[in-house]
Structure 1
Amino acid sequence: MPDQTCQADHCDSRAGFSHAAARLSHDPATGHPRPPRREFKARGSFVERCPGCNLPALNCLCPYQARAESEARVWLITHPLEHLKPTNTGRLIRDVLPGTEVFTWYRTVPDARLLELLEDPDLVPFVIFPDDQPDYADRVVDIQAVSEVKVSGRTPVFILLDGTWRQARRIFRKSPYLDALPVLPLSTTRQTRYQLRKPASRAHLCTAEVAVELLRQSGDVDAAQVLDDYFDTFNVSYAASRRYEKIEVSTPAMLRLVARRTG
């Protein structure tokens, strides 16, 4: 049973904090609320953005958008907060691969279209997730399983859990409709080149980089290269815009994308 004296002290402390906050937010002479010292703006809200690619207009990504076809498909189960981040790289996959599906994750309300697609016998989905826990070890497969699906005439699907590492774990653990699917851990020596968020480790790849490696390892080499070039262009363009620098000289990745767009 909690100590009642401590509870009383806690209540007094909270009351004191509330009174102090009230003094700071109100004029002591009139008792009227004080106006804010400056207009509140979210980070980056003042930046002029391209309506097409949502990047800062200073280095728009639209001239480099190129499409590619792949035997494997990619589905993104995206945490709601990721949709609000212009630095999210999952949308790059949809720009490049026209068959990409994006589903917003809600714990108690699964996406109806996702549930429908999971019942399609011609599609074989793999949940991309590390094999670091024993309770789903019997579901873990390797990249060879993807090749076997292709040989059978069916379509492999990479399901990427699009969010922070903590969010991805929550999606994996709190989505019963994923429990029967094979788990495919990504095995790669690639280190991240992502410049817009600081990863806990260079081995932690962003969503687009994971897709690039999966496509490459499963034989969709052309699609992997186009997506990798598009990711590099996004990475460089956004980083330059943060420094308020206009890119004057195209990178090799940019040149390859432009050449693909022009045939």
Structure 2
Amino acid sequence: MSRYCEQCGKAKKACICRWIQVLDAKTELWILQHPSEVKRAIGTARILTLSLPGARLWVGEDFSEHPELNTLLAQPDRDAYLVYPGEAAMPISQLADAPLPAHRRRTLILLDGTWKKAYKIWQLSKNLQGLQTVSLDNAEQGNYRIRKSPKVQGVSTVEAGYLALTALEGEGKFTPLLETFEQMIDTQIRHMPPGVFERNYTS
């Protein structure tokens, strides 16, 4: 009998399914996950795919020739943006101010991995380099208490999804994403050996 939950993929003692709420988003989220993230106990991408029926997740490093992704990107009624910082990135607030015609679909692509791994995906995936990039100008310092980021405003994948959707579709609607995130973190901390969290994450 597996010790992992079949739905969320986490160890049963750290299962997050009880906190998941299914949410309706007009914006589609696609997640490109680096292979090193697949079995991470503290990974947050699964919160998005469980909560948002329209979310998709693919695992890989080079998505240049990914058939399903390329087919979807080629759809003429789709406006796809890559959430990735950079000099050419459009602030998410600016995108939110741009009206979306009723006959078009808006898609945001998130890269799930450390900054180094996300950059590797971006560098290798030629099909992503032709997309308009979007920066999260509504991001403050993330609350990923059990995974340090070298960036002051480093946020987890679920936080990035929450910030992007909130900017585009309004406050309050996607708060359950953060509530599940907080419950996941608290559960992981409770299962750490005594003193590990204080020693490694509060300095």
Could you say whether these structures have the same fold, taking a TM-score greater than 0.5 normalized by the shorter chain as the test? Answer: yes
Q: Which residue in the other structure is 1:141 paired with?
A: 90
Alignment map for 1:1-263 (pairs within 5 Å): 48-107=3-62, 110-132=65-87, 137=88, 140-143=89-92, 144-243=94-193
**Which one has the bigger helix percentage?**
1
* Whole-Å separation in 2 of the counterparts to 1:217 and 1:182: 17
* Whole-Å separation in 2 of the counterparts to 1:90 and 1:59: 15
Q: Which runs of 5+ in 2 are unaligned?
A: 195-203
Higher mean C-alpha deviation, range 58-67 or range 69-78:
58-67
* Cα distance change of structure 1 residues 171 and 149 upon mapping to structure 2, 3 Å threshold: farther
Per-residue Cα deviation, 1:15-66 (whole angstroms, up to 9, x for no partner): xxxxxxxxxxxxxxxxxxxxxxxxxxxxxxxxx5434333343343222121
* Whole-Å separation in 2 of the counterparts to 1:125 and 1:173: 18
* Whole-Å separation in 2 of the counterparts to 1:71 and 1:113: 21
Q: Give TM-score, length-normalised by structure 1.
A: 0.66
* Cα distance change of structure 1 residues 112 and 89 upon mapping to structure 2, 3 Å threshold: same
* Whole-Å separation in 1 of the counterparts to 2:75 and 2:96: 17
Residue 56 of structure 1 contacts residue 238 of structure 1 at CA under 8 Å; is this kept in 2? no
Higher relative contact order (CA 8 A, sep 6+): 2
1:187 Cα deviation after fit: 1.0
Q: Which runs of 5+ in 1 are unaligned?
A: 1-47, 245-263
The structure whose Rg is larger is 1
1:122 Cα deviation after fit: 2.1
Q: Which residue in the other structure is 2:201 paired with?
A: none
**Which one has the bigger strand percentage?**
2
Q: Give TM-score, length-normalised by structure 2.
A: 0.83
